[in-house]
Structure 1
Amino acid sequence: MFVLIWATLLFSVRDSSADTGVSAWGRQHCVGRYCVTLSERELTAQAGLCVVIPCSFTNADEFTPKHIVWHKCEASQTKCSDDEIIFHSNKNTDKKAQAGFEGRVSRLEPDVSQTNCSIIINDLEESDSGSYQLRVTGVRNGKQDAFSFSQRVTVSVKGLIQKATVMIPTLTEGQQATLTCTAPGLCSGSVPEITWTWRGAGGTESYITGNSTDFKTENLTAFRQRHSSTLTFNPSAEHHNTNVTCKIHFTGETTTEKTSGLNVNFNVLHVLFACKEMSGNLSVKLLVSIAAVSILVNIIFIIYFVLFWNSRKKMKPKEEEQTYMSLQKTDVLSEYDVICQSLN
């Protein structure tokens, strides 16, 4: 069993919580001749992405570091236990990391003699929030030993608010175009799933017809990657003033998306050709319409004439006789009689 010298260092005659200055890494915290330098005591991160805990340490000359161990436990605990290990650089030890952190934690510098204790935690979940403590194991005066630092880093993981980045080139009808969607974060964790969907004028979400997608992972450093997806298709009039959405699904239930509008420029030659074709079609349609209207007018006139002729043939004889008699009737008003008499 390791002989822990952490308690001895904690109660050293030297100031056990002294800040000995600021280095390139951040503020240095020392216990005796053992110092740890952390850039920040509190780090914030987002679910689905990653967080880097920058860290370096120095130790007494008689101590030779062999491995670094990181724990996550309650801030109220003076020292985290072996059951709370999240990373152990010694793969042959029986002190394994917690199942939830297995494979998600990596160190930035594999050579512990470089005194770089920085780690990166990928595929973050909100439950990863907590207090993280460093312990260094090694050999002191020929015997196995270890020390833990009282100074810690607090990590706070919130829900994902970062959006994807969508790059849309100038779109011209009939000319092939490629859209690019880049996932947020620059982590070397699990590869996210990226899908494209399109919402047409009718409001129905679907995939763009005739498209092709391609996924790409760019290695920026050993621990930083950029994940992106491209969508290649031929823009047409139906895509104008519609929306395309890039959806990104990270490990677990973490998702994000970005919706962008499509603005398609119409090809002048295509427009002229379409107008010419439309003009020809309109001429034919106009002649057909005129002929149809002419036929309809003739049919209506014939029907009206037949109905009128039949109505004349059915007129009652009594009505004709009364009309004739009324024309032959002599007017017998008195004023006409008086005029006649005066003339004689």
Structure 2
Amino acid sequence: MKLTAVQHETCLVLIFVLQLWIGSSNGLLLPGGDYDFELRLEKSFITAAAGCAQIPCAFTIPVRVYPVQKIWFRGSPEFPLSPPMVEEQANLMWPLRSPEHECSIILWDFSGHERIEEYGLMLKWGTNETHIYDERITVSYSTAKLNISLNTEALVAGQQTYIYCRFPDLCLGSYPKVTWTGLGSKKHLDVGYPRKMNNYLIYSQQLLYTAAPRDHQAEITCEATFGKNLSANGTMTLTVHSHPQILNSSACSLQKVLLTCVCVSQGVPLPDIHWPLQSNADSNIVRTSDGHITVRSTYTMTVEDLTSISSPVCVSKNKLGQTKMTLPVNINKVKEAA
């Protein structure tokens, strides 16, 4: 059957419309189409808080391009962000305007470098179709550090004390996994307390801890792991005050008329050692210390008769208290030459 000119033209129009419909249903953007790509950013400049930045974002796209993949990039599309750095976050851009979809994210960064970066969003769909939004957002990063603190200036051995690891201005909804290392004594409680403030989360990890004298000047580390294996840590050196103790190695020895007494004591602050022996013009005291928790005092004096002096006593004292010990005397007999 031969078509008239009008019928032929009508068929061409129908074929063209059919091609448009097929192309749009397959997610292909045909030249000359009127497509609605819009990106709405709440801010164009954001200051990152303690290792992360919240970017509220909403976008619109033609229905025909569904589904799409959202790709955030640094600087230009040639530098897409790796998955550990980007975490999608709902309800940052609220309320949404119809027909918007949320593209809000949290950017994680614990590199500790102060710098300014520019980010953009690209969409990808179909076989190899893309759309790059013109809008950009600038993020200013500062050094991200965790803060470990005590509820007192120093711990006291044998007493329970709270140690806090604080994470200021964390991104909303970011609850880290916290681990403590370097603690030699038993920990009793490890509890985290989040508190929301101005769309950010103030997070504090609280540890109830009983220190021992050996923990003095030990380093403890609080490490927080966020989301996809990104972490930050803070370290502090403990100061543990302890009562003075006199070690059993303390003793005296007598050789002929020379009495030598050694008193070894531990404590923080370092103890002062006193010798309440009878005054003697020939006596001498030498004090040494490891600068940590141990002090050693050596007392020498001449005696004609051991019974003429009182029992050797060592007294160790610091601001937490004092202790004393009566030292044993070992008599060293000198062999006479044959």
Which of the five TM-score ranges fits, normalised by the shorter chain? 0.3 to 0.5
Larger Rg: 1
Q: Which has the higher strand share?
A: 2
Q: If the length of structure 1 is used for normalisation, what is the TM-score?
A: 0.45
Q: If the length of structure 2 is used for normalisation, what is the TM-score?
A: 0.46
Question: Greater RCO between the two (CA within 8 Å, min separation 6)?
Answer: 1
Q: Which has the higher helix share?
A: 1
